[in-house]
Structure 1
Amino acid sequence: MCGRFALTDTPDAVQSLLAVTDFEPFPPRYNIAPTQPVLMALSGPARAAGSNLPSRQSMLVRWGLIPAWAKNPDDFSLLFNARSETAAEKASFRTAMRHRRALVPANGFYEWRRVGSKRAEPYWIQPRDGGLIAFAGLMESWSEPGGTELDTGAILTTEANEDLRGIHHRMPVVIKPEDFDRWLDCLNQEPRHVADLLKPAEPGFFEAVPVSDRVNKVANAGPDLQERVERREAEDTDPKPGGDSGQLDLF
């Protein structure tokens, strides 16, 4: 699962990675949570020969996808993650998977490791070499009965790799820069054509840094959330290591 992440790089760095220019400058965000606005990049107008027209467009969406056919979003759980293994078949994600695949820029994400039956320890999980990455995302627009349109989105997840499965059994899908065009090309690339991209990050790509439980509260949003803390090793009595950490209770 990916229930919190951070985007702390500069707008220039985001522009360089995603090749988008149509967004307003933004401050560093150290504790992004579901229902908050998140930046996504989608395929834009085709690039004309000799033109400066961007081939990708950016947009701010509510993190928590609402299917276009939903009559009342209160009838749904908060769909901030989508299982990559089943997204192409699930009614809630099928249309977005076919027509509105997206990239979500991030510097890393937070995950919680269950220790015993009542305690969860948070980790800041970042690329070992630092820098920006892009999660696989889906975007969907939902129209209220009154006609107001709300852009919403979700992050795709997959099985955790061997480095992280001791913390949690799921992780966000990371799309490599060389695969951006293929992932975003919903005109020519059907979900089955990009299924090979929906895989765990390679071993050694991420490092997990133990951090303070201050990250548990959305109101805490400073750089101190990513500072390493020392913990005494404790016996893990959870019979399912890397199971559901319960961080949904934090929202």
Structure 2
Amino acid sequence: MCGRFTITLPLDELIVRYLIFENRLAKFAPNYNVAPMQFIPAVISGKQGNRLGELRWGLVPSWAKEDKIGGSMINARAESLTEKPAFRKLLTSRRCLIPADGFYEWQQREGGKQPFRIVMKDGGLFSFAGLYDIWTDPEGNKLATCTIITTEPNSLMAEIHTRMPVILRQEHEAEWLARDHADAASLVKLLQSYEAAKMRAYTVSSAVGNVRNNSKELLEAVK
């Protein structure tokens, strides 16, 4: 699964990287411990170009009776997207990119769980493949939410966990966002494990397990 990540790079870098036409972020600050149910930066394709805005992490389908369901829908398995009612329609109509520069995963060991931070070897920005939806409460208030798609682990991640988030190759990002792309079969083909050779993992402090901790010290390697 993917339950925590980081996005610490400057806003200007996001705007350039994703060719943002419209920025709807009211505020932006480095987040060293992004957690479910938080509002996170996300990119979608608008009519005139890419839009950068906020989505709450934890999908609430438009047909849900209440928004509490979001806490149990932070991830969606790539292998079953076309089978699940909550994801099937979104795959062909409401896709997004979720920028990150690292993510955390916990490895089960005899003495407990050890957190790792996984990043690109070049330290660069990358994109999780996501789906989003818009839910309306009984009073008419709208809530935009998202989920991060996961897949089978690559050789690096297999040593840590049984799943990993889908990181789209940069050359596939435009296809994933394209508003007129509704071919589910070809979209699913993009949801592959990222190349392990381009990634690295290192152990970090168990302090990352507490969502209230959010400082650059969480990024530091520990023995």
Q: Is the shorter-chain TM-score for this pair beyond 0.5, marking a shared fold?
A: yes
Deviation at 1:88, TM superposition (A): 2.2
* Corresponding residue of 1:37: 39
* Corresponding residue of 1:136: 129
Q: Does 1:89 align with 2:75?
A: no
Distance in 2, matches of 1:38 and 1:187, equals 25
Q: Is contact 1:183-1:189 (8 Å) kept?
A: no
* Corresponding residue of 1:102: 96
- Normalising by structure 2, we get a TM-score of 0.94
Q: Is contact 1:17-1:177 (8 Å) kept?
A: no
Q: If each structure's helix is expressed as a fraction of its own residues, which one has the higher value?
A: 2
Q: Is contact 2:59-2:69 (8 Å) kept?
A: no
Q: If each structure's strand is expressed as a fraction of its own residues, which one has the higher value?
A: 2
Distance in 2, matches of 1:38 and 1:211, equals 22
Summarize the alignment of residues 208-223 of structure 1 with structure 2, pairs less than 5 Å apart.
208-223=201-216
Percent of aligned pairs sharing the same letter:
38
Instruction: Give the one of 145, 153, 160 matched to 1:160.
Output: 153
Distance in 1, matches of 2:12 and 2:2, equals 25
Deviation at 1:192, TM superposition (A): 1.2
Rg: which structure is higher? 1
Alignment RMSD: 1.4
**Structure 1 pair 76/185, CA: closer, same or farther in 2 (3 Å)?**
closer
1:121-171 CA distances to partner (integer Å, 9 max, x unpaired)? 000111011110011011100111111110000000101101111100111
Q: Is contact 2:37-2:71 (8 Å) kept?
A: no
* Corresponding residue of 1:111: 105
Amino acid across the alignment from 2:59: L
Q: Does 1:28 align with 2:15?
A: no
Q: Is contact 2:57-2:145 (8 Å) kept?
A: yes
- Normalising by structure 1, we get a TM-score of 0.84
Moved over 6 A (4+): none
Unmatched 5+ stretches in structure 1:
47-54, 231-251
* Corresponding residue of 1:150: 143
Aligned length: 221
